[in-house]
Structure 1
Amino acid sequence: MSSRINTILILGAAGGIGEATARRFHSLGKQVIVTGREQDRKRLEQIVNELEGLEYRIALDGILRHFPKLDTVFVNAGIQNHYDIFQNPPPNLAQEAIQELTTNLVAPILVAQAFAAHLLSLAKQGIKTNIFLTSSSLAYFPVPFYPTYCPSKAGVASFCKILRWQLEATGVKGMSVVEVAPPYVDTPLNAHHREQTDALQGGPEKAVQPMPLDEYIDKFFDLLENTKQDGSINDEIGVGFGGQGQKVWKQGYESLLRGSGMTD
């Protein structure tokens, strides 16, 4: 892994998995650039002050001008809303759903488009490049609590596969498209509605409990080191339920697609 990643841009790094991932890459001696929303500026500044050499941006404009050797992009930003369409739907449901789909699905597609040509160009020059897109175990195991979050992450999982197949069609080696599928991790993502989802599962004693963040990061980086025979990063990195969902898809649906001639 170390030989493939030198300069990495991590989107959505003001907290949770994104921040923890940025900190780990920084500890490994990588050049790390982090991003967040305007309201995250103070938090990003705090992280930068703690970690010497780490840089932050609010907008993506100018990233490639300042970091022309950027070889890895990690899209991790996401939001999660809890609501019931039939019982007590929120009055601003349309706004919430659009925002959630935009952040979780539209934004990763646009980011991939923004950096695809650059990463492909470096790969043609023999420089190993990577794009990581974060889906979720809920892309494969939807639950009734999150009627927009689950399909948005299923869309990311699907987009990863399509992007990888399109990359294969170019014939260019040395670039990887990696789908990262975390399980339920203890982060602020669902902090504002965790009590509600626990209650729907019969209370905190019966509810599925999140994986500690440090444990997830350790497992993710262990899997990151488990490369293919040629040293390239695996197509999927899934921890816990995320990995199980990816495995079932590959064993079933991918084999059906390839058998039908839909993909090579």
Structure 2
Amino acid sequence: MSSRINTILILGAAGGIGEATARRFHSLGKQVIVTGRQQDSEKLEQAARELPGLHYRIWDLTQLDTLQAEVDGILRDFPQLDTVFVNAGIQHHYDIFQNPPPDLAQQAVQELTTNLTAPILVAQAFAPHLLSLAKQGVKTNIFLTSSSLAYFPVPFYPTYCPSKAGIASFCKILRWQMEATGVKGMNVVEVAPPYVDTPLNAHHRDQTDALQGGPEKAVQPMTLSEYIDKFFQLLEETKQDGSIAHEIGVGFGGQGQKAWKQGYESLLKGSGMTD
């Protein structure tokens, strides 16, 4: 529910879904802070010129040794930050057995660091602040972006798929641990987009299309504008107590989340490990 969001930090917002999400929240009158890497500085500067009041930070999430300092700096400048949206991600296409890239190990580490390790560390670093505000009666939220590929892995992305599956799992664990504190008013939300037309896979889209039999037979992406409209529509579909839904999945992403809840979650509850 967007009305419970006032000041939002969106990580990975120099393009694609992150940028479009930031622009929509800005249009709703929210205070928005966005981040991107050094090579994205011109895009971030342009966004700040176009969107009065938008703040941006240059933050490379793969630099893990500076992560806590970045978090501390943001909280110092925005002490009433109530929402963190961890959206940063990269995607590599390769085959482990046939023509693997010469820098396979380095590429895999970079992808896992960006997509899984850094988001977990970011969430852990902001969690005490968000929980503290929630104890004071401020509604707080943390969104983490997984993917439909967290639930439906494909052979094109041997590192991307497991990294997003890890995010989906971490969201559930973070939520369970937060709920165990007894504090109300803090939401942990897993966002699972489908295949969306963004620059994420632009450099290898022809290859993945070819592996599916060509562009005519390949799965086609949802337009970015359609995805953003559907995401914000689902954001407003709150639970009975007025809080944001635990999962926001569009298209195939929503189907994956639903299948997990109907299957694995019920089995997990039956084991007695969760309520």
Q: TM-score, normalised by structure 1?
A: 0.99
Secondary structure of residue in 2 paired with 1:45: helix
Shift of 1:2: 3.2
2:128 is matched with which residue? 117
1:216 is matched with which residue? 227
Task: State the AA in 1 paired with 2:4.
Answer: R
Task: State the AA in 2 paired with 1:210.
Answer: P
Give the Cα–Cα distance (whole angstroms) in 2 for the partners of residues 38 and 117 of structure 1: 28
1:74 aligned onto 2:85 = yes
Secondary structure of residue in 2 paired with 1:218: helix
Shift of 1:262: 1.1
Shift of 1:230: 1.1
Shift of 1:38: 1.2
1:101 is matched with which residue? 112
1:85 is matched with which residue? 96
Give the Cα–Cα distance (whole angstroms) in 1 for the partners of residues 107 and 2 of structure 2: 39
Give the Cα–Cα distance (whole angstroms) in 1 for the partners of residues 220 and 249 of structure 2: 18
Task: State the AA in 2 paired with 1:99.
Answer: Q
Give the Cα–Cα distance (whole angstroms) in 2 for the partners of residues 3 and 136 of structure 1: 25
Give the Cα–Cα distance (whole angstroms) in 2 for the partners of residues 192 and 3 of structure 1: 37
2:175 is matched with which residue? 164
1:133 is matched with which residue? 144
Secondary structure of residue in 1 paired with 2:144: strand
Secondary structure of residue in 2 paired with 1:170: coil
1:151 is matched with which residue? 162
In the comparison of the two structures, how many residue pairs are matched? 264
Secondary structure of residue in 2 paired with 1:13: coil
Which deviates further from its counterpart, 177-186 or 51-60? 51-60
Which deviates further from its counterpart, 7-16 or 34-43? 34-43
CA deviation map 1:81-115 (0-9, x unaligned) = 00000100000000000000000000110110110
Shift of 1:58: 1.4
Secondary structure of residue in 2 paired with 1:210: coil
Q: TM-score, normalised by structure 2?
A: 0.95
Give the Cα–Cα distance (whole angstroms) in 1 for the partners of residues 119 and 171 of structure 2: 10
> 5 Å matches for 1:185-196?
185-196=196-207
Secondary structure of residue in 2 paired with 1:237: strand
Shift of 1:3: 2.7
Q: State whether residues 2 and 235 of structure 2, in contact with CA within 8 Å, keep that contact through their aligned partners in structure 1.
A: no
Give the Cα–Cα distance (whole angstroms) in 2 for the partners of residues 208 and 260 of structure 1: 37
Shift of 1:42: 1.1
CA deviation map 1:27-81 (0-9, x unaligned) = 0000000001111111100100100000001143410011000000000000000
1:246 aligned onto 2:257 = yes
Calculate percent identity across the aligned residue pairs.
88
2:63 is matched with which residue? none
2:218 is matched with which residue? 207
> 5 Å matches for 1:12-51?
12-51=12-51
Give the Cα–Cα distance (whole angstroms) in 1 for the partners of residues 172 and 21 of structure 2: 23
Secondary structure of residue in 2 paired with 1:178: strand
Secondary structure of residue in 2 paired with 1:249: helix
Secondary structure of residue in 1 paired with 2:190: strand
Give the Cα–Cα distance (whole angstroms) in 1 for the partners of residues 113 and 192 of structure 2: 19
Secondary structure of residue in 1 paired with 2:32: strand
Give the Cα–Cα distance (whole angstroms) in 2 for the partners of residues 173 and 58 of structure 1: 33
Task: State the AA in 2 paired with 1:119.
Answer: L
Task: State the AA in 1 paired with 2:13.
Answer: A
Q: Which runs of 4+ in 1 moved over 4 A?
A: none
RMSD of aligned residue pairs (Cα, Å): 0.6
Give the Cα–Cα distance (whole angstroms) in 2 for the partners of residues 253 and 43 of structure 1: 41
Task: State the AA in 2 paired with 1:23.
Answer: R
Give the Cα–Cα distance (whole angstroms) in 1 for the partners of residues 129 and 58 of structure 2: 20
Give the Cα–Cα distance (whole angstroms) in 2 for the partners of residues 198 and 244 of structure 1: 23
1:57 is matched with which residue? 57
CA deviation map 1:169-222 (0-9, x unaligned) = 100000000000000000000000000000000000000000000000000000
Give the Cα–Cα distance (whole angstroms) in 1 for the partners of residues 165 and 196 of structure 2: 18
